[in-house]
Amino acid sequence: MSDVVISATGVERTFVARGHAVHALGPVDLIVERGQFVAIVGPSGCGKSTLLRIVAGLAAPSAGEIVIDRADGDSPLCSMVFQDYGIFPWKTVLANVRLPLDIAGVARPRANEVARDWLERAGVAGFESAYPATLSGGMRQRVALARAFVANPEILLMDEPFAALDAQLRLVLQQELLRVWEAHRRTILFVTHAIDEALLLADRVVVMSSRPGRILDDIEVPFARPRTRAARATAEFGALEDHIWRLLKGEVEEREHAHDVA
């Protein structure tokens, strides 16, 4: 029996801006099983962030239905990790990571212990008293990851979390995320513009059309982990990358053509 955690049926979202309705998303049907790592790729403005916000309960669908099945009623539903870290500059690293536990009313000694444990796992041990401004982008994103995992959410929603990092750092943090995910198996929805990142990390890659974002393809990634440099250099990996690239390229070209005609 499969264990479905996210079940979206006919989900759509329309925004009204300056008197005009913008059909941003959908209809989208999406089933995600518990513990799956799902990457979402799609052209700019196709509604990827909107979809994450709907899953998080931060935005309501204009049509359709989304059902989230919680395995543990005590855990928060979702934690979000953004490209710009989303950590508070006026709080120390420890206080930032401890925040979800403070909100949950966990006693301070226990909260500090759990937060320190996650800082160590995320590779930021020793920086507990530092303020975010004194840290590099990579360190800040590690703090954001530690805070997301501390919350022990049912679902981790990651919106281009590594997009602002340089290529080497991005590789390091991708590996760190996989290491933590393999140990703790949270369900992850991970939005990225990088096809290779999606194929490196995810169990499934959901490819979206240009706005209004619909699902063009939903691909099971057939490569065993760890997906080493050698595995990524194979013809199979290249062919899948190419397939996704062609889908996205077609979408972008079609949209540009529509603009030319208009």
Ligand X SMILES: Nc1ncnc2c1ncn2[C@@H]1O[C@H](COP(=O)(O)OP(=O)(O)OP(=O)(O)O)[C@@H](O)[C@H]1O
Listed in sequence order, the DSSP H helices in the chain are 48-56, 93-103, 108-121, 137-150, 167-184, 195-201, 229-232, 235-261
CB of 120 vs ligand X, minimal distance in Å: 32
CB of 206 vs ligand X, minimal distance in Å: 12
Measured between alpha carbons, how far apart are the two ends of the chain, in Å?
50
Our CB check for ligand X shows the closer of 124 and 156 to be: 156
Distance CA 139, CA 67 (A): 35
Scanning the structure block, which residue is given the tokens 């954001």?
144
Question: Two tokens at 262?
Answer: 């208009």
Our CB check for ligand X shows the closer of 11 and 111 to be: 11
Q: Which residues in this chain contact ligand X in the complex, by CB under 6 A?
A: 15, 17, 22, 24, 42, 44-50, 211
CB of 14 vs ligand X, minimal distance in Å: 9
Distance CA 50, CA 60 (A): 9
CB of 44 vs ligand X, minimal distance in Å: 4
| Identity of the residue numbered 192 | T
Our CB check for ligand X shows the closer of 17 and 235 to be: 17
Our CB check for ligand X shows the closer of 8 and 24 to be: 24
